[in-house]
A and B are shown apart, each in its own frame.
Chain A
Amino acid sequence: MPDQALSGLVVLDLSENISGPYCTKLLADYGAEVIKIEKPVLGDTSRSIGPFPDDQPDPERSGLFLFLNTNKRSITLNLESESGTEIFKILVNGVDILVENFQPGAMAGLGLDYETLAETNPALIMTSISCFGQWGPYRDWDGPDIVAQAMGGLMGLTGEADREPLKLPGSQAEFQAGLNAAVATLSALYFRDETGEGQHIDVSAQEAVASILEASVTMYSYSGFVRRRTGSRHHLQCPSRVMRTKDGFIHVQAGANWDHFATYLETPQLMEPRLASILRYHYADEVEGLIQPWLEKHEAREVFSTGQEWRIPFARVLGIDELVTDPQYEARGFFQHIDHPVAGRLIYPGAPFRMSETPPQVCRAPLLGEHNEEVYIGVLGLNKEDLARLRENGVV
């Protein structure tokens, strides 16, 4: 009996940086066997991005790479050589899933488009991730994360009204694209397990972002309302925003019972019918103004815990250092400590969800080309001389 949810599934991962690797990380962490194909010498671009210890670049010490590639195996292969593409075609025949995030058209340029690969492996699921998708007028446009955040509509909604739009930190459009790719891939797998038929999936980071704007476009269609950025204040809930306390920031929301909220905050003025009404968002400045003085007399930690006793959904605005020592993460054993032969023992974010029957795997990211012999000799059946020749010719 398989011991993990995705045991037995074989994935060939041509993707690099964040979007594709996060998709295959999810597959790998929950049990799929992921073979990552990296460019010889340089490897995945995230190996050269960091964060590195003391900011000293080292392809085996990039925090980003180490995090995104847990539970995967790494082989090197030069797809721009003829023998490289030949080997790739043999490899692809033995897998269930192929994930790639090159510029649209690049796979076809290598003679490795879905139609060609499906001729010999009709059950193949190929997942392609790009900034704007595989077709349409912007297909050949390129962008890092910020471009997809801007053109997906998220950036225009984030930031202060009187300042420039603000991007979300890190690479959120890339993560969203990777997440959508992971869900899409398993949907295609469900269909394939029913019918035996594979297919090609087209994930666009722009669409991944445009899908999660709450009901913004629907509201535009319903009433012509063009939502704009409103700082930390939610555009229709009141109160819902980040506010200052005596010693730090908390996120303030009233929760299920306005009466409790007013009582807890010792601010009976909030019970005035106009402010107790659902239409109080018209008086957001006034509501926040009434709350602010009380908050400034109390510490964030105290408001968070005593407020929760009243079932008020306060939340603390935490910094990264406060996460790893947080009692709730600790009680649930969320953060993982993983050893790596070069990078050493580090703390990693853990699994995004728990499964009662099939706990996720915890195994470090691979060294560049670490599994060449295992895959080329063990799986493909090449001999040591073949592999040595491929190495000499720069194919591996």
Chain B
Amino acid sequence: MGWSKEEGTQALEGLRVIDLSQIYAGPYATKLLADMGAEIIRVECAARSGRGGALPRMKPGGAFGSSFPDGDTGERSYNRFAYYNEVNRNKYAITLDLSQPHGVEVFKRLVRISDVVVENFTPRVMRNLGLDYPVLKETNTRIVMISLSGYGQDGSYRDYVAYGEGIEAMVGLSQLTSYPDGEPLKPGVAYADATSGLHAAFAILAALRYRRLTGRGQYIDLAMREAVTPIIGEAIMDYSVNERVASPMGNHHPSMAPHGCYRSRGEDRWVVIAISSDEEWRSFCHVMGDPPWTKSEKFATLSGRLASQDELDRLIEGWTSQYDHIELTNMLQRSGIKAGAVLDIEELAHDPHLRERGFFEELSHPEAGTHLYPGLSWRMSRTSGRLRLPAPCFGEHNDYVFGELLGMSKEEALRLAEEGVTAKEPLPFSPLGEGSEMEA
């Protein structure tokens, strides 16, 4: 059996998920399910598109501008936004305004034929819409509903607004992501969102297993803050056993030395090296050509190397800075030394290993063009698939979902449009999240 990517049955075929979630954490969870073959139906509306709204055509420049193909927001910016298009591939999208009674009624029809509902509003929103779990359960006792929120559905912070970056601060991750002599920084990407999304996907699949055995759905309350806390478990356990408050270690490690990030040849090029035993240290010295400084007694043992790490780092950098970071990685790994080039985004996209594994895949999107996206996060020997669908355009699957899945008459679909329950395009853009109740 190989690791075929041929088209075939996918692991989650037949699973239908309604996705009300916005921005990143919730959409990341449904991305994982979508990639495994689940049918994800995103429910969006003009005020809450999850796409940032409609921007005037422009070339805004900077990182934000670069999130549109060729830096151009285009005619319909909301179909061209990299953040949306990456995480919503393999999904369908409809428009439905849940603040209108007709919208709620159609939504309930959809709940009747679905398995899972995912949402990440602040806790009061679903209740205010009249669509909290007790209501959905009445509509479909088998439904699994998951709410992702910043701080959870109860407790004094329940209504607090939170985005992933803030959650990183609130779990101690920002404080620890720092140089030992520096101020708190934070992970360079929205780390809490993805981590919460992964836990959410696990939660959904666990609830579906229970439903398979019992026929019963259930409600999952995922506080992003609680989902992110376990991954700094080592630091929490250190406090637990020693009442020691972890301080930032930068690139150092409590029981490996050298363990760091070293400048190599070229502009902003770096390699990491991690030595976990005295034996590895000796082979590393050998690869460096056994320069005289490596003979120093104080570097012979782990405790000695830990005690003089800063000096050691400078000496190692004297060697690494003569070489290309990729060349160093090849040289060191071939000698059994644990090392890796710090790949920048361009290098990552062209990394030969990821390329051979087919990790990045091309998708053609009708409004964004043909581009490379990160593919499946893992491989399965029997059910692996490819990225099948580009991210949906706004309202692209109204006909399919209303007509084919719900068997709605053309007249009713027309009426939904007239009533403004469905929409042709999002409201004009306002800065990230403005004018909506979308959080987390």
Contact = CB atoms under 8 A, between A and B. Distances in A.
A357 B186 contact: no
A257 to B, nearest CB: 6
Main secondary structure of the interface of B (DSSP, over half): mixed
Interface in B234-260: 234-246, 248-251, 253-256, 259-260
A203 interface: yes
Contacts of B17: none
Nearest to B14: A194
Contact of B382 (A154, A197, A332): A197
Nearest to B246: A320
A305 B28 CA distance: 29
Contacts of B171: 318, 323
B155 interface: yes
Q: Considering residues B9, B66, B254, B352, which has the most beta carbons from chain A within 10 angstroms of its beta carbon? A: B66
Interface string A232-255: 101111001010100001110111
Contact of A199 (B156, B241, B380, B430): B380
A301 to B, nearest CB: 13
B210 interface: yes
Given A147-B339, A234-B165, A258 B226 contact: no
B169 A156 contact: no
A218 B36 CA distance: 20
A154 B260 CA distance: 15
Given A214-B83, A354-B220, A63 B237 contact: yes
Contacts of A356: 133, 218-221
B176 A169 contact: yes
A207 B161 contact: no
Given A179-B202, A180-B198, A223 B160 contact: no
Contacts of A172: 187, 191, 231
A2 B206 CA distance: 13
A284 B95 CA distance: 35
Interface string A153-175: 11111111001111111111001
Given A222-B68, A282-B61, A181 B378 contact: yes
Contacts of B83: 214-215
Contacts of A164: 251, 260-263, 270
Given A133-B357, A218-B86, A346 B237 contact: yes
A188 B222 contact: no
A197 to B, nearest CB: 6
A135 interface: yes
Given A143-B340, A218-B371, A249-B184, A184 B189 contact: no
B251 A166 contact: yes
A92 interface: no
Q: Considering residues A7, A149, A191, A208, which has the most beta carbons from chain B within 10 angstroms of its beta carbon? A: A191
A220 B340 contact: no
Interface string A181-212: 11110111111011101111111101110111
A211 B374 contact: yes
Nearest to B231: A175
Interface in B335-360: 336, 338-346, 348-349, 351-354, 356-357, 359-360
A176 B439 CA distance: 23
Contacts of B64: 236, 278-279, 281
A319 interface: yes
A212 B434 contact: no
B176 A170 contact: yes
Interface string A310-326: 01111111111111100
Given A210-B354, A317-B169, A187 B230 contact: no
Nearest to A220: B345
A254 B166 CA distance: 11
A229 B174 contact: no
Given A8-B213, A66-B237, A217 B255 contact: no
B357 A170 contact: no
B161 A311 contact: yes
Contacts of A328: 151-152, 155-157, 225
B431 interface: yes
B206 A187 contact: no
B302 interface: no
Q: Considering residues A64, A197, A210, which has the most beta carbons from chain B within 10 angstroms of its beta carbon? A: A210
A142 interface: yes
Q: Considering residues B176, B231, B251, which has the most beta carbons from chain A within 10 angstroms of its beta carbon? A: B231
Contact of A317 (B184, B235, B348): B184
Interface stretch (A33-41, A50-58, A381-389): A50-58
A154 B342 CA distance: 9
Contacts of A213: 189, 345, 348, 374
Contacts of A320: 172, 175, 232, 235-236, 238-239, 245-246
B178 A166 contact: yes
B163 interface: yes
Given A165-B261, A188-B380, A242-B185, A6 B435 contact: no
Contact of A158 (B62, B85, B177, B346): B177
Contacts of B352: 137
B433 interface: yes
B71 interface: yes
A138 B183 contact: no
Given A142-B333, A168-B177, A319-B175, 13 more contacts: A136-B354, A142-B336, A153-B348, A184-B380, A193-B212, A207-B377, A211-B374, A213-B189, A218-B373, A251-B165, A278-B55, A346-B241, A353-B226
17 contacts: A67-B233, A150-B340, A153-B345, A168-B177, A169-B173, A200-B381, A201-B379, A220-B372, A222-B68, A227-B345, A229-B188, A232-B185, A256-B161, A279-B64, A315-B170, A318-B170, A358-B218
